[in-house]
């Protein structure tokens, strides 16, 4: 089955074409466009390029298009992308202004350009559909809850892949199968011992998710991606009382407060150096105290969430690192794992130092819990979910 995964930004369109079958899949072509103003034009150009390059004989060979949609109003999961999906994206356009409008547009355009293809949307919130009410509700008035304010969670495609892959690597095929089929069958009971994972997706945007028996029990991100860990230049968790106080005291408007919290906060705001952990680590190593603070605050926040989920699950069988910082940042991994031996987590310093962007178990051999590095591949995750949905 040929599946096109469409990655749509406010002014960009990137795609990967996968050939998928029951045993996995491969990328057969990829491409992209920047500074896009006319989605219809670039989608048709991409299809013409695939034909001209001999990748496809006709656009009709593309059986499905997958969209990694972020946040829908009253809609989540892995769904056929139809008018209800477009309405759900537009209903929350104000919460995800950089993501929702381009995806709503893209779905409309693909329906015209590839009328025979099945269009499938995988919401980033999908993995959190089964979290408990006590976990996803904020203590706000009913009227606020009625307009959809609650914890949703993001990076769902990445964390769900970790749920599958960590179970495979730890020899828990029963749990891996539950995780693989989660969007088809929902959660299913496990007959043996529970399998408890904390997944750390650490990149430009970061979140920590607790996963019990292949299903998320909670995550660090809430209503919007403005929450949880300090992000590259987004604030992460912040007391709601701070916003009116800053507006009144600094004399700034709501729009300006929002701009500063989304563009000038997070690791950039704390360090004053950069939004990239590599630059911040370098500055910290050469004695910059603000850079040191940014690194320490990130590690503190990661550990805070790991602790919360370990407690809720009654322990941990695997701690997983993924995405840019998780896969490459040996220093960050070591700082996160420091002093956790009492919880059965023993990091092997040599294995940790040697691991860069490859799949590896970096715990000591006798460690009761595994420490895993699993590279993220969100396009492949999407192609797999689309294939599973349509098979
Ligand atoms: P992602 O959002 O998953 O693409 O991750 C991007 C982030 O990964 C960058 O902002 C960097 O902070 C981080 N990163 C990339 N390469 C490295 C590296 N070699 N060491 C530490 N962090 C890295």
Q: Are 35 and 11 in contact (CB under 8 A)?
A: yes
Q: How many whole angstroms from 278 Cα to the centroid of ligand 1?
A: 7
Q: Say if ligand 1 is within 6 A of residue 276 CB.
A: yes
Residue spans of beta strands (DSSP E) within 290-388: 318-322, 360-361, 370-373
Which atom number of ligand 1 is nearest to the Cα of residue 332? 21
Atom 4 of ligand 1, nearest CA residue? 324
Q: What pLDDT does 37 receive? A: 84
Express each pLDDT in 353-371 by its tens digit: 999 999 999 999 999 999 9
Q: Is 132 in the pocket of ligand 1 (CB under 6 A)?
A: no
**Tens digits of residue pLDDT in 161-215:** 999 999 999 999 999 999 999 999 999 999 999 999 999 999 999 999 999 999 9
CA of 22 to the centre of ligand 1 (A): 32
pLDDT category of residue 151 using cuts at 50, 70 and 90: very high
Decide if 17 contacts 62 (C-beta within 8 A). Answer: yes
pLDDT in tens, 200-209: 999 999 999 9
CATH 3.30.420.40 in the chain, residue ranges: 2-122, 170-378
Mean pLDDT score across all residues of the chain: 96
Ligand 1 atom having least distance to the Cα of 331: 21
**Architecture, CATH, for domain 170-378:** 2-Layer Sandwich (3.30)
Alpha carbons 3 and 166: distance in angstroms, whole number: 25
**Whether residue 107 has its Cβ less than 6 Å from ligand 1:** no
CATH of 2-122 given 3.30.420.40, 3.20.80.10, 3.50.50.60, 3.40.50.1970: 3.30.420.40
Look at residues 309, 308, 316 and name the one whose alpha carbon lies nearest to residue 368.
316
pTM (2 d.p.): 0.96
Cβ of 323 below 6 Å from ligand 1: yes
Burial of 376 (0-12, 13-18, 19+ CB in 10 A): buried
Closest CA to ligand 1's atom 18: 328
Six-digit token string for 103: 């995806």
């Amino acid at each position: 089955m040929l599946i096109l995964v469409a990655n749509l930004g406010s002014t960009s369109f990137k795609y990967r074409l996968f050939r998928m079958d029951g045993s996995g899949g491969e990328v057969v072509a990829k491409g992209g466009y920047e500074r896009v103003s006319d989605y219809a034009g670039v989608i048709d150009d991409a299809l013409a390029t695939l034909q001209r390059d001999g990748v496809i004989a006709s656009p009709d060979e593309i059986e499905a298009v997958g969209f990694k949609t972020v946040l829908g109003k009253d809609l989540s999961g892995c769904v056929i992308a139809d008018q209800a999906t477009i309405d759900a994206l537009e209903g929350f356009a104000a919460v995800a202004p950089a993501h929702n409008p381009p995806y709503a547009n893209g779905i409309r355009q693909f329906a015209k350009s590839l009328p025979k293809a099945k269009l499938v949307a995988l919401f980033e919130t999908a993995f959190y559909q089964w979290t408990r009410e006590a976990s996803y509700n904020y203590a706000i008035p009913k009227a606020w809850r009625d307009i959809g304010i609650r914890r949703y969670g993001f990076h769902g495609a990445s964390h769900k892949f970790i749920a599958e892959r960590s179970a495979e690597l730890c020899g828990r095929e029963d749990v891996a199968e539950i995780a693989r089929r989660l969007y088809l069958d929902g959660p299913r009971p496990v007959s043996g011992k529970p399998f408890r994972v904390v997944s750390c997706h650490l990149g430009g945007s970061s979140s920590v998710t607790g996963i019990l028996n292949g299903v998320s029990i909670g995550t660090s991100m809430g209503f919007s991606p403005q929450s949880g860990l300090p992000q590259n230049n987004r604030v992460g968790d912040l007391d709601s009382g701070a916003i009116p106080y800053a507006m009144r005291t600094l004399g700034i408007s709501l729009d300006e407060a929002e701009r500063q919290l989304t563009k000038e906060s997070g690791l950039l705001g704390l360090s004053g150096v950069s939004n990239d952990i590599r630059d911040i680590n370098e500055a910290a190593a050469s004695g910059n105290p603000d850079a040191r603070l940014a690194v320490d605050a990130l590690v503190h926040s990661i550990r805070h969430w790991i602790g919360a989920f370990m407690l809720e699950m009654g322990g941990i069988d695997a701690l997983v690192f993924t995405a840019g910082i998780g896969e490459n940042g040996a220093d960050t991994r070591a700082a996160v794992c420091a002093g956790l031996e009492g919880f059965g987590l023993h990091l092997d310093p040599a294995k940790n130092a040697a691991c860069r962007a490859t799949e590896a178990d970096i715990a000591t051999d006798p460690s009761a819990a595994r420490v895993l590095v699993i590279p993220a591949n969100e396009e492949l995750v999407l192609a797999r979910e689309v294939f599973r949905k349509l098979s």
